[in-house]
Structure 1
Amino acid sequence: MADCNDWFRTGLEHIWLPYAQMKTQPGPAPIVSTSGARLEMADGSTLIDGVGSWWTSVHGYNHPTLLKAAHEQLETMPHVMLGGLAHEQAYRLAARLAEIAPGDLYKTFFTESGSVAVEVAMKVAVQYAMNLAGERRTRFVSFKGGYHGDTFATMSVCDPEEGMHSLFSGVVPDQYVVDLPDTDDRTAVIEKLLSSHNDIAAVLVEPLIQGAGGMRMHSPETLKALREACDRHGVLLIFDEIFTGFGRTGAMFAADRAGVIPDIMCLGKALTGGITPLAATIASRKVYEAFHTDSVDHALMHGPTFTGHAIGCAVANAGLDLFETKPRLEQVNTIEAQLTERLMPLSKLPQVADVRVCGAVAAVEFADEFDVSAARSWFIERGTFIRPLGRVVYLTPAYVIEQKDLATLTGAISEFADTVR
């Protein structure tokens, strides 16, 4: 491997990093290898990863089952296009997702990223109304604090005032972005909204936890009220489970934990355990039947070059094998208990506004703003990689993290809380 001073310093002059003002933000930590829940830095020191590589590496880094699947598929057939051709891994994965998905979600469209999976869901929802009844329902209901991606359509359904996309107000399409009705009058609030507009194609929500918006959590009752209102008004319900899917909330899907079945569900991130890009949009039988007609105009005209990427699908199939053979959900429940025990006491501190835990997710929200970049550096100096979101310091570790490593992460957050006054 090339010397870090070579590739890092030279490359830093030319790479454009995500979510970063590169003129003012401290440089990133150079990583040379990974294993389990640990990151090895170029200087030989080790970081315990509390973020799970943006919530993807649920089985831990370098899991041999996933690596074996990738290597074998790479040697056999890295990829072939799905336009007119077929390969086993994509077809097997689609069938397996249909088996484990809630309700009658059974038809999967593969993409390369979560943002595009949501774009496909939105496109399907709009065309569904056209195919079914010739209606032009072109707008969406989404919720403040929500995040669904950085592509143009998905930016329109994110919180319009949060920092990542606020500059694009007036450029992206207008949607109905409202407060999440997680209150006793939720049914009346949702009913008023849907009954006031006849151009709504779907309601789009991150079920149980709004991830990038600060790990905000809401009740299953809110999702049940959304489901009932959508049914009354002929509006589709889309669950963005790119973050919550595959065990993060303690159930395989947040839909399972909430007991609510959407019309369309978007998956990504943990689908391949952080090994390769892959995402999926899964539609119910009712939705798909509106496209399955004799009219070519009713077809979904969408086709990313690497849709159903063979290596990604092979890794995803191996990941599902791990969920079937390893106690992943039990591990999440153990993590939830430890996070609750170690972090909930912080809610008594005057500088802490709230502490939230659900499955393998914990969030400590502080009452006042702090320097996020400085906080990231502070955590790295203490051997942890924790990446705050605004006033929220959160953990989304690998499900296989050792208890002592998780204790180090929660201890670092407790120590950090003492510095925020």
Structure 2
Amino acid sequence: MTSITSLDHQFDKNHLWHPYTSMTNPLPCYGVKSADKCVLTLDSGEQLIDGMSSWWACLFGYNVEELNTAAKDQLDKMAHVMFGGLTHQPAIDLGKKLVEITPDNLEKVFLSDSGSVAVEVSLKMALQYWHAKGTPKSQFVTIRNGYHGDTFGAMSVTDPEGAMHELYHRFLPKQLFAPQPTIKFDEVWDESDLDEMTKIIEANHTNIAAIILEPIVQGAGGMYFYHPEYLKGVRLLCDKYDLLLIADEIATGFGRTGKLFACEFAGITPDIMCIGKAITGGYMSLAATLTTTHIAQTISDGKAGVFMHGPTFMGNPLACAVANANIDKLISFDWQKNVLNIEKQLIEFLAPCKTLTTVKSVRVLGAIGVVELNNAVEVAKVQKQFVDLGVWIRPFGKLVYIMPPYVIEEAQLKQLCDAIFQVAKNQS
């Protein structure tokens, strides 16, 4: 098929810089004319079942009636107003919802405009907290193969070795990296998995502001699922050495793993939590960083007297209104039953991939299905193969994965998994 048939493909190719691609030899782009539920309709007329939820954000797919209505109603009132010195009902309602559904003690909500900014805010909160206490600390600890975003603070706590941010490494603050947990989600736990993290903390705790990690699921860094006891152990280490714990739930929040937030697998509450992506159901960019009353008061009582951050589109009313509708729909919807059904179906439908010599492993958690190949894929070639099979799946490196909308039909999910099998079978 031809990419972007009736759109101005040449202008797109020459002038629009798409994510993680070259401007001299860009990856092909397929023009989308419309989207509804779990189906993308291309400009060419072809229809693709969406396995990506638009980078994990569209919980209920596309053209969702409740979210459409919320956006239209809010547009009649105001699309945006500055959050400095002003407030509005959509932000207040969203704050109430987030405090209610997130782990206990996360009572203060800082609204921002993207996941990466939410991470930046979390790092600045930790730094300013210790500064306000009169004991400034400058380093963060995280685990290898993590990913926290593309802005500078977020890049500094993203594994620099062999990763997408490697070329920036010498320009970034130097952080501390513990090995990736070796014990997987469904394996027998062994306390020794925490040994290296413990050594790093023992040697450096006087200058560590916080530990930041993705709870249970490492997303863009490798789609790896580690044991909940590791997260529980990190929480205990933070308590023992008086460190803050930052949970980056941007990819895992709002039910994707089978829990509303992945921290629930370990039964822990972080000191700071970052959420984003699915918060608006994929309609627009919004994120939040939540923290405890103690941290917020300590920062506010410090030398600056305020928290030093304020995005222009902070608390955007339009985004907040859609987020409220999305959360209401999620809570009223039997999301956990649907996600667990998707999990069972993924386990069944991806099982044939385990028989392929080209496949290293298959793993499933909640509404996340991952097939790890032995070799990296050629993205443009594989992308076309998926499109020809009537599905939208965007692989990276050796990973072919899907995170479908929670409303996907069983036949649609099977088509996605069958396509993965077909493509994986033909890899060398």
* 2:162 aligned with 1:162: yes
Contact 1:290 1:298 in 2 (8 A): no
Residue 173 (structure 1) aligns with: 173
SS in structure 1 at match of 2:258:
coil
SS in structure 2 at match of 1:169:
helix
Residue 17 (structure 1) aligns with: 18
How many angstroms does 1:140 deviate by? 0.6
Of 308, 318, 336, the residue aligned with 2:315 is: 308
Contact 1:251 1:329 in 2 (8 A): yes
Moved more, 152-161 or 340-349: 340-349
Of 287, 300, 313, the residue aligned with 1:279 is: 287
* 2:418 aligned with 1:417: no
How many angstroms does 1:9 deviate by? 2.7
Of 348, 351, 373, the residue aligned with 1:366 is: 373
Of 364, 388, 394, the residue aligned with 2:401 is: 394
* 2:252 aligned with 1:244: yes
- For the structure 1 residues 296 and 80, does the alpha-carbon distance in structure 2 shift closer, same or farther, using more than 3 Å as the test? farther
Q: Residues 259-297 of structure 1: CA distance to partner in whole angstroms, max 9, x if unpaired?
A: 12111110000000010110000002232221243x561
Residue 136 (structure 1) aligns with: 136
* 2:190 aligned with 1:189: no
For 1:27, give the aligned amino acid.
P
Q: Residues 129-188 of structure 1: CA distance to partner in whole angstroms, max 9, x if unpaired?
A: 1112x1121111112111101011111111102342111111111111221234421333
Contact 1:181 1:189 in 2 (8 A): no
Residue 114 (structure 1) aligns with: 115
Rounded to whole Å, the distance in 2 between the matches of 1:131 and 1:229 is 22
Residue 186 (structure 2) aligns with: none
Residue 61 (structure 1) aligns with: 62
Rounded to whole Å, the distance in 1 between the matches of 2:361 and 2:74 is 46
What stretches of structure 1 move > 6 A for 4+ residues in a row? none
Rounded to whole Å, the distance in 1 between the matches of 2:406 and 2:271 is 28
How many angstroms does 1:385 deviate by? 0.8
Rounded to whole Å, the distance in 1 between the matches of 2:11 and 2:22 is 18
- For the structure 1 residues 6 and 225, does the alpha-carbon distance in structure 2 shift closer, same or farther, using more than 3 Å as the test? closer
Residue 95 (structure 1) aligns with: 96
Moved more, 198-207 or 347-356: 347-356
Q: Residues 41-77 of structure 1: CA distance to partner in whole angstroms, max 9, x if unpaired?
A: 0011101111110000011111010010011101111
- Gaps of at least 5 residues in structure 1 are none
Q: Residues 188-217 of structure 1: CA distance to partner in whole angstroms, max 9, x if unpaired?
A: 322211110021111110111111112111
Contact 2:143 2:177 in 1 (8 A): yes
Contact 1:79 1:311 in 2 (8 A): yes
Of 221, 226, 237, the residue aligned with 1:229 is: 237
Q: Residues 295-341 of structure 1: CA distance to partner in whole angstroms, max 9, x if unpaired?
A: 56132011000100000000000011101211112111110000011
Contact 1:250 1:257 in 2 (8 A): no
* 2:357 aligned with 1:350: yes
Identical positions, percent? 42
* 2:220 aligned with 1:212: yes
How many angstroms does 1:363 deviate by? 0.6
Contact 2:7 2:31 in 1 (8 A): no
For 1:328, give the aligned amino acid.
W
- Gaps of at least 5 residues in structure 2 are 184-189
Contact 2:386 2:393 in 1 (8 A): yes
For 2:41, give the aligned amino acid.
E
SS in structure 2 at match of 1:393:
strand
The TM-score, its normalising length taken from structure 1, stands at 0.96
Contact 2:211 2:244 in 1 (8 A): yes
How many angstroms does 1:354 deviate by? 1.0
The TM-score, its normalising length taken from structure 2, stands at 0.94
For 2:220, give the aligned amino acid.
A
Rounded to whole Å, the distance in 1 between the matches of 2:99 and 2:179 is 32
Rounded to whole Å, the distance in 2 between the matches of 1:209 and 1:361 is 10
Rounded to whole Å, the distance in 1 between the matches of 2:357 and 2:203 is 42
Q: Residues 4-28 of structure 1: CA distance to partner in whole angstroms, max 9, x if unpaired?
A: 6353332332111111123334321
Q: Residues 370-415 of structure 1: CA distance to partner in whole angstroms, max 9, x if unpaired?
A: 3122111111111111111200100000000111100000000111
How large is the RMSD of aligned CA atoms in angstroms?
1.4
Contact 1:214 1:389 in 2 (8 A): no
Rounded to whole Å, the distance in 2 between the matches of 1:268 and 1:24 is 31
